[in-house]
Amino acid sequence: MDRTIPTYNKVEPPDGYTAPGIFATSFDKVVGIARSNSIWPLPFATSCCGIEFMATMGAHYDLGRFGAERLSFSPRQADLLMVMGTIAKKMAPVIQQVYIQMAEPRWVLAVGACASSGGIFDTYSVLQGIDRVVPVDVYVPGCPPRPEQIINGFMKIQDLVVNESLRRRYSPEYRELLASYGIM
Amino acid sequence: MTDILEDKQYTTLNLGPTHPATHGIFQNVLTLDGEQIIDAEQTIGYIHRAFEKIAERRPYYQITPLTDRLNYCSSPINNIGWHLTVEKLLGIKTTKRIDYMRIILMELARITDHLVCNSVIGVDSGALTGFIYVFQEREKVYEIYEEVSGARLTTNMGRIGGFERDFTPKAVQKIRAFIDHLPKVLVEFEKLLLRNRIFMDRTIGVGPISGERALNYGFTGPNLRAAGVDYDVRVMTPYSSYDDFEFVIPVGTQGDTYDRFCVRQQELWESVKLVRNALENLPEGNFHVDAPQFYLPPKEAVYSKMESLIWHFKIVMGEIDVPVGEVFHSVEGGNGELGFYLVSDGGRTPFRLHFRRPGFIYYQAYPEMIKGGVLSDAILTMSSMNVIAGELDA
Amino acid sequence: MENTYITDLLHKHFSHDILEKETGGDILTVIVTSPVIHDVIRFLKETENMNFNFLTDLCGIHYPDRGLPLGVVYHLHNLSENKRIRVKTFVTVSNPTIPTVTDLFSTANWMERETYDFYGILFEGHPNLKRILNVEYMDFFPMRKEYPLEDPTREDKDDRYFGR
């Protein structure tokens, strides 16, 4: 019986020093790998893009392959805020509140043209991009984006997560960024 | 005893606007006595996008993408409904081939809409399996859309006066494969839920509404038919040659969640029949009418012929003469009577365009339907009403 | 049911209040004065031979150049005979008040709130007349023709590049 572990099912180890019985690497890298492969997304699905997200979660595209099987509808346990759909001005305080409730470290993925920039809805009632109320890490264009695009955006988030320094969230630059959105 | 009653306190529960069980963003402030719902207050408008204001600033041609985003679970119905409205204003008569192609696409859209709604009822009652089964089928409809229009969800399908291109042989083959395979999945899906004791106990008698109240609340579509009123726009005022086909309007009796589920399930079978009939009897002919002042010329001609380029420019910029007048046209959307009230003053844009959105109109009956029930039933009632956020808030 | 039958009957009961009738369009259209709108709708709904028992649609409209600029359009449907009728009424901007029809049709509740939200038309006797789609602190009625569509906070859209 073949006992080799298939390569597609395992994560490559980070750079480090190996010796018999030990493996030494930096803590950042290990934590980054662990985090990036078990991101719990909070789907903030409001409209059309939310339907494409349902397709992404379905059997055909299966976002679960990337360690995001478990949707966290509670912001307290979520790592990634996925905003899918138009955010009206009435909704803007809600989305900021959800972001504030999330624990650090937290990432934001803006899916679709509406969440990124207001899209075709340059109107009196629509927020012109969620980056006016919360900081965004990755934007996914499209109206709505195909599930492949959503997955690609998710993988970009994974890249950010795996390379993030553990100190970033304590840095003055990051504090300044949050303060510019009125989030302390 | 009376003292205790006077001191009785109710719990206020804020359901939404980001609650996972509310499919989008509806807010309901519930007053609860234990688990029983005493009162509910709704707030909507969380994705109000000002469709009607935008429509007053866009040429007729550019309003089709807006209609996509109303009921995004069945966007071809919205697109074609809008085209039918404009054709009614302009007095364009379409050929049978166009009508039949439209019927095929509209019924496919109805299938996706009902599949999503019914499988989500399953999810909300704790049966995730059915959802995963039928979403696989929905992907196949999206592949058909891609073949016909190039897009998956917001299809922007067809044009005023027909389609931008004919069905390709591959599209016909895909439609045929889909309607041959779907019945097997439907049987499987029905085996999982239809006579499932847990599902029946969860849904029978939940969120009922009488036929009379439903009419008073302006219910249309499957929700009205589940309450026992056989009103269907396709039969009452046939459009797009629906009168050429025979199909059954399923009608419920109780108007509860189970009846709504069953009516939709039966409509799926009728839609499959309609698609098959329309495809088999698809007449030969042109896929668009001969109306050069409204129908965009083919792209190759635009790049090579002066005349076509001029028409293309005029249509895209809205520099064409539109008759003055007002029309109301309605189609049977995925969840009810989708109406378009169009007022034209002869300008490049509509003077006023109002969408009769079925979801917006019947969702206001929700507090009445859930009062007296328990909290978990309220969730099921909402998913069985098939309220689509984009359509609700316009 | 013939159009003339309906208009004759309406004339008999509301002779002075029927301002205009139009039979040429897709649906029979009747324009009535605003104070009697509730009575007309009730007459159409409850008279035995009329029986327009389904309110399909209710929406506002704004004609800035007219003497009575703000209007409300009702679409009623007789489901048993499949007959539709459109009833319109117009009011001034300074006093945009008309009676509500929520006592006749429960469905008119949100439709009237939406019309109030968009056009500022006040429905007398409405149980809960407040904004429905827009934020509550909004201080204008956006669907009136004089208000712009675009979001005022956009800085990247320079009017010079868009010919505005």
- Output the DSSP codes for C94-138: SS-EEE--TTT-TTHHHHHHHHHHHH--EEET-TT-S-SSS-TT-
Q: How far is CA B99 from CA A106, B36, B249, B270, in A?
A: 51, 49, 20, 18
Q: Where are the alpha helices (DSSP H) in chain B?
A: 2-6, 51-55, 64-68, 75-90, 96-124, 128-148, 169-193, 197-203, 211-216, 221-226, 233-236, 257-280, 299-304, 306-317, 358-362, 366-370, 375-385, 389-393
Please determine, for residue B49, whether its predicted confidence score (pLDDT) is greater than 50.
yes
* Pairwise CA distance, residues B175 & B277, whole Å: 12
Taking CB atoms and an 8 Å cutoff, what residues of chain B touch C54?
Answer: 215, 218
Residue with tokens 């480090």: A16
What domains appear along chain C, each with residue ranges and CATH number? Answer: 3-162 (3.30.460.80)
pLDDT at position B100? 94
Residue at token pair 């079925």:
B358
C53 CB-side CA count, 13 A: 14
Quote the distance between the C-alpha of residue C8 and its chain's center: 23
Among the listed residues C41, C140, C53, C138, the one whose alpha carbon sits nearest the alpha carbon of residue C98 = C41
Per-residue pLDDT tens digits for B332-390: 999 999 999 999 998 889 999 999 999 999 999 999 999 999 988 998 999 999 888 88
Which domains, from first to last, does chain B contain? 2-43 (no CATH), 51-393 (1.10.645.10)
Token pair recorded at residue B87? 């054709």
**What is the Cα–Cα distance from C3 to C29, expressed in whole angstroms?**
10
Residue B77: which of B145, B25, B170 has the closest Cα? Answer: B145
Q: What is the mean pLDDT of chain B?
A: 90
Residue B178 confidence (pLDDT) above 80 = yes
B113-134 residue pLDDT tens: 999 999 999 988 888 888 888 8
Query: Percent of chain A, pLDDT > 90?
Result: 50
Please determine, for residue C1, whether its predicted confidence score (pLDDT) is greater than 90. Answer: no
Angle at C128 between CA C126 and CA C133, to 5 degrees: 115
Contact B153 A87 (CB under 8 A): no
Cα distance from C34 to chain B (closest Cα, Å)? Answer: 21
Q: Is the pLDDT of residue B3 over 60?
A: no
Q: Report domain extents, chain A.
A: 14-180
pLDDT in tens, B60-99: 888 999 998 888 889 999 999 999 999 999 999 999 999 9
**Beta strand extents in A25-105 (DSSP E only):** 41-45, 80-84
Taking residues C141-148, report their average pLDDT: 90
DSSP state for residue A15 in the 8-state scheme? S
Look at residue B19 and tell me whether its pLDDT is greater than 80: no
Work out the average pLDDT over B94-116: 94
Which chain C residues have a beta carbon less than 8 Å from that of A125? 133-135, 142
- How much is the average pLDDT of C24-32? 88
**Cα–Cα distance measured from residue A111 to residue B234, given in angstroms and rounded to the nearest whole number:** 37
Of the partner residues B18, B68, B393, the one whose CB lies closest to the CB of residue A44 = B18
pTM of the model: 0.93
User: Taking CB atoms and an 8 Å limit, are C150 and A125 in contact across chains?
Assistant: no
According to the model, what pLDDT value does residue B2 have?
A: 52
Average pLDDT over residues C107-120: 93
Nearest to C109 among B53, B339, B364 (CB): B364
- Say if CB B382 and CB B260 are below 8 A apart: no
Q: Best interface-test mutation with C: which of B249, B328, B344, B353 has the largest number of C CBs within 10 A?
A: B328
Cα A152 to the center of its chain, rounded Å: 11
Question: Cα distance from B75 to chain A (closest Cα, Å)?
Answer: 10
Flag whether pLDDT at B22 surpasses 80: no
**Range of weakest confidence among B6-10, B94-98, B156-160:** B6-10
Judged by CB atoms closer than 8 Å, whether chains meet at A126 and B18 is answered as: no
Distance CA C61, CA C118 (A): 9
- B352 close to C93: Cβ distance less than 8 angstroms: no
- The set of residues, in sequence order, having a beta carbon less than 8 Å from that of A165 and lying 6+ positions away, is A28
Tell me which residue in B49, B152, B389 faces A123 most closely, judged by beta carbons: B49
In this prediction, residue B1 has a pLDDT band, given cuts at 50, 70 and 90, of very low
Q: Does C144 touch chain A (CB under 8 A)?
A: no
Per residue in B201-231, pLDDT (tens digit) is 999 999 999 999 999 999 999 999 999 999 9
CB contact under 8 Å between B216 and C79, yes or no, is no
pLDDT at A138 over 90: yes
Q: What is the band of C164 on the pLDDT scale with cuts at 50, 70, 90?
A: low
How many CB pairs lie under 8 A apart between chains B and C? Answer: 87
Which residues in chain B are contacts of C53 at CB distance < 8 A? 215
pLDDT of residue C92: 94
Domain at A14-180, CATH class: alpha beta
Q: Which amino acid is at A105?
A: P
* Sign of the dihedral through C-alpha B47, B52, B54, B58: positive
Query: What is the model's pLDDT at position B24?
Result: 66
Q: Is the pLDDT confidence value at B266 over 90?
A: yes
Alpha helices in A112-168 (DSSP H): 112-117, 147-163
Of A140 and B2, more confident: A140
Mind listing the pLDDT tens digit for each residue in A66-124?
A: 888 888 888 899 999 999 989 999 899 999 999 999 998 899 999 999 999 888 888 99
